[in-house]
Structure 1
Amino acid sequence: MVTPIRTSKRNPITVLVGWVRRQPPKVKAFLAVVTGMASLVFLKFVVHDHDNLFVASEACHALGICVLIYKLMKEKNCAGLSLKSQELTAMFLAVRLYCSYVMEYDIHTLLDSATLITTLWVIYMIRFKLTLSYMEDKDNFATYYVVVPCLALAFLVHPSTSHSIIHRIAWAFCVYLEAVSVLPQLQVMQNTKIVEPFTAHYVFALGIARFLNCAHWVLQVVDTRGRLLTALGYAFWPPMVLIAEIVQTFILADFCYYYVKSVFGGQLVLRLPSGVV
C-alpha cells in the first residue's frame, strides 16, 4: 500500500510577506504607495464623516499611551522606551493645547489634554521611578536636531490667519514637531535590535494613528475639492501641513511592516534588521 504524500499548506499571509521581502527597494516603495492609496479609497467609502478619522487617530494615540502605562505598572520596567521621544510628544502637545485654547477650543482640545497628562505621567515614571531600567545609552538621539529645524521652519512657513504671529508660529511648530517626535523611539529600537511586545504595540498604535490622521487631511481636501487648502492659509503653509502628515506616516511605515510580519509569524518579540531607521 502506497502512503499518500502530504503537502503542507502555507499561510497565504506568510507567502505574501515572503514575496514582498524578496522584492527590490523600489518595488517595495511602489507597493507601499499603492497599499496606502487603496486604504484611502477604502476609508473614503466606508467612513462617511471623515472628521471621525481625526478622532480615531487621537484614540489610537491614547490607546498606545495606555499600553505604555500598563507596561510600566505591570513590569516596573521602562527598558526599550525613549524618554526623549516622550518629552518631544509632551512638547508638541503642550504647544498645541495652548494654541487650541486661544485659537479654536473644541473636543480635540480635551482629547489632547488627556493625552498630555498621561504622557507627563510616563515621563515622570521613566525619569524618577524606573531610572535603573532606563536605557540612557541607547536613547542617544540629539533632540535639537529636530527641535531647532522645526522652530526655524515654523518661523518661515506658518498659517496666514488673523491670529497673532506668535500663535501662528507656535501652531506651525507643533505640526512640524509632531511629524518627527517618534524618531528618538525608533532610534532606541534600532540600537537594541530587539523590541519587546508592549513597546512594539505602542509604536504600532502610533503608526495607525499617524495614518488615520494623514487620511483625514487628504480626504478632507478631496471632499472640499481643494477648498480646505485655502481655508488653512496661503502660500506654502497648506502643502506643508499635508507634507508633515505624509512624513509622519512614512516614518513609521517600515516599522509597521515588520510588526505585522512578526505578528503573523507568531513571534512575541520583534527583531529589527539593520537599516530600518
Structure 2
Amino acid sequence: MKATKRPIQAVARWLRRQPPKLKVFLAVVSGLAALFFLRMVVHDHDNLFVAAEVVHSIGISVLIYKLMKEKTCAGLSLKSQELTAIFLAVRLYCSFVMEYDIHTLLDSATLLTTLWVIYTIRFNLRSSYMEDKDNFAIYYLVIPCAVLALFIHPRTHHHIVNRVCWAFCVYLESISVLPQLQVMQNTKIVEPFTAHYVFALGVARFLGCAHWVLQVLDTRGHLLTAMGYGLWPFMVLLSEIVQTFILADFCYYYVKSVLGGQLVLRLPSGVVQTQTEFYEKLNRSPVQFRTKIEALAMAISKLFIVSLVASLLVFHLVEADQKVNSNQATGYTPGKNIDCGGACNVRCSLSSRPRLCKRACGTCCTRCNCVPQGTSGNLDTCPCYATMTTRGGRRKCP
C-alpha cells in the first residue's frame, strides 16, 4: 500500500511545484483525454446524463448520512439546497408536461431527498447551522436567471410558460452551487462528508457537460440547430460549461487532498473567490454603487446588451442557413431524406439533455443524420412519413 502511495504522492508534489499555466494546460489535456475515453466506452450518450443524475443522488445520500450520523449541518449551505430544490421542482414540472421518462423519476427522487435535507437543516439541526457564514443573497441569482429566461428561451411549439420555465431551471442549475462555495470560502476548512458531496456535484456536472459536447461532435453541430434558432442552444451549452468550471477549482483541491492522505480539506484563500466576489460586492453595497438594486440593474443591463448582440448575430446566421435549406428541401422526392428544419424530435428539443429521435423507423430529418431503419434510405416505407404534416411547402415531423 505504501509503495502504491509513494508514486502518487511524488506526482502530487511535482504538480504542486509547477506554474499555474502548466497546471491549467494539464487540466485541459486531462479533460480532453477523459472526453475521448468516454466517447470510446459509452456508445449511448444518454447514459452519461443518467450517470450524472445518479452521481448527484449519491452526493445527496452522502449529505443525508452526514446529517443522520454526526447530527450537525456545520459547513452546509441551506441556500444552496433551496436553490437546488427550486430548479429541480421547475424542471420536474417541465419534465411531466413535455418529456416524461427516466429523468423524471431521477429528478423526483433527488427533489424528495433535497427537501428532506432542507427540513433537517432548518428545523432539526438549526442550532448547528452556520447562518453567519451562509450569507449569500439568493435573489441575486434567482432574479437575473428569471429575467434572462424571459428573453432567451427555446423557440418551439410548447407553451411560452413551459419554455421560460425550462430556460430558468437550466440557468439556475448552473450557478446554484455558489452559496455552498462561499460557505467553504468563509470557513476555509471543509469536513470530509461535505467535500464528498461537492466533489460528487463536480463529477455530475462533468458528465453532463461531456454528454453535451459529445452529442454536438457526433452530430457535427446539427444538434444545436435541431434545438431551434436564436441564442438558446448556445446558452444551454454555456450553462453546462460554466457549471463545470465553477466546480473545477474545488475538485482540483479535493483530488490533491485525497492523494495527500488528508481527511480534512483546507482551501487556500483564493479558491472560489473569483466566482463569488461579484455577488459578495453586491452584498456589501460597495461605494461605487449607491444601492444594491443599482448594482444589480447595471449587471443585468450589461448581460442583456451582450446577449442581445450575440442573439442577433446568431439569429441572422441561422435564418440564412434555414433559407438555403428551405430552397433545397421543398416538396418530397422518394428515396431521399427529408429536411424538416430541425423540427423532428420536438419532444426532446426543449430539454437541456437533447437526444436523437429513437422511433422504430429512425429519425426523419437530415439534420439528425436520419436513415430510416430497414428501408434502405427510402422514406416511402417509413411510418414516420405518414404522420408528418405539410407547412409552407415543407414536410414537418409531428
Question: TM-score w.r.t. structure 1 length?
Answer: 0.94
User: How far 1:10 moved relative to its partner?
Assistant: 7.7
- Quick one: structure 1 residues 260 and 156, their matched pair in 2 at CA, closer, same or farther if it must change by over 3 Å? same
1:139-178 superposed Cα distances (whole Å, 9 cap, x missing partner): 0111122111111211121111111111111101100100
**Alignment correspondent of 1:158:** 153
**Alignment correspondent of 1:259:** 254
Determine whether 1:107 maps to 2:102: yes
**Alignment correspondent of 2:378:** none
Q: Distance in 2 between matches of 1:38 and 1:46?
A: 12
Q: Secondary structure at the match of 1:189?
A: helix
1:102-149 superposed Cα distances (whole Å, 9 cap, x missing partner): 111111011000000000000000001000000000001111221111
Q: Secondary structure at the match of 1:122?
A: helix
**Alignment correspondent of 1:240:** 235
- Give unpaired runs (5+ residues) of structure 2: 273-398
**Alignment correspondent of 2:81:** 86
Q: Distance in 2 between matches of 1:41 and 1:30?
A: 17
User: How far 1:231 moved relative to its partner?
Assistant: 2.1
Determine whether 1:139 maps to 2:134: yes
**Alignment correspondent of 2:125:** 130
Q: Secondary structure at the match of 2:75?
A: coil
**Does the 8 A contact of 2:12 with 2:259 survive in 1?**
no
Q: How does 1:45-84 map to 2 (within 5 A)?
A: 45-84=40-79
Q: Distance in 2 between matches of 1:198 and 1:233?
A: 41
1:23-58 superposed Cα distances (whole Å, 9 cap, x missing partner): 333332222222111110110001111110000000
Q: Secondary structure at the match of 1:11?
A: helix
Q: Distance in 2 between matches of 1:9 and 1:202?
A: 26
Q: Distance in 2 between matches of 1:159 and 1:111?
A: 23
Q: Distance in 1 between matches of 2:102 and 2:189?
A: 38
**Alignment correspondent of 1:206:** 201
**Alignment correspondent of 2:224:** 229
1:70-99 superposed Cα distances (whole Å, 9 cap, x missing partner): 011111110000000000000000000011
1:271 to 260, 266, 271: 266
**Alignment correspondent of 2:190:** 195
Determine whether 1:13 maps to 2:8: yes
User: How far 1:235 moved relative to its partner?
Assistant: 1.3
Amino acid at match of 1:162: H
**Alignment correspondent of 1:3:** none
- Larger helix percent: 1
Task: Return 23-32 or 213-222, whichever deviates more.
Answer: 23-32
Amino acid at match of 2:213: V
Q: How does 1:113-124 map to 2 (within 5 A)?
A: 113-124=108-119
**Does the 8 A contact of 2:88 with 2:169 survive in 1?**
yes
Aligned residue pairs: how many? 270
Task: Return 168-177 or 225-234, whichever deviates more.
Answer: 225-234
User: How far 1:9 moved relative to its partner?
Assistant: 9.9
Aligned identity (percent) is: 78
Q: Which structure's relative contact order is higher, taking Cα pairs within 8 Å and 6+ residues apart? A: 1
Q: Distance in 1 between matches of 2:86 and 2:29?
A: 34
User: How far 1:66 moved relative to its partner?
Assistant: 0.3
User: How far 1:230 moved relative to its partner?
Assistant: 1.7
Q: State the superposition RMSD in angstroms.
A: 1.4
Q: Distance in 1 between matches of 2:148 and 2:99?
A: 23
User: How far 1:16 moved relative to its partner?
Assistant: 2.5
**Does the 8 A contact of 2:12 with 2:260 survive in 1?**
no
1:252-274 superposed Cα distances (whole Å, 9 cap, x missing partner): 11101111111111111111111
**Alignment correspondent of 1:5:** none
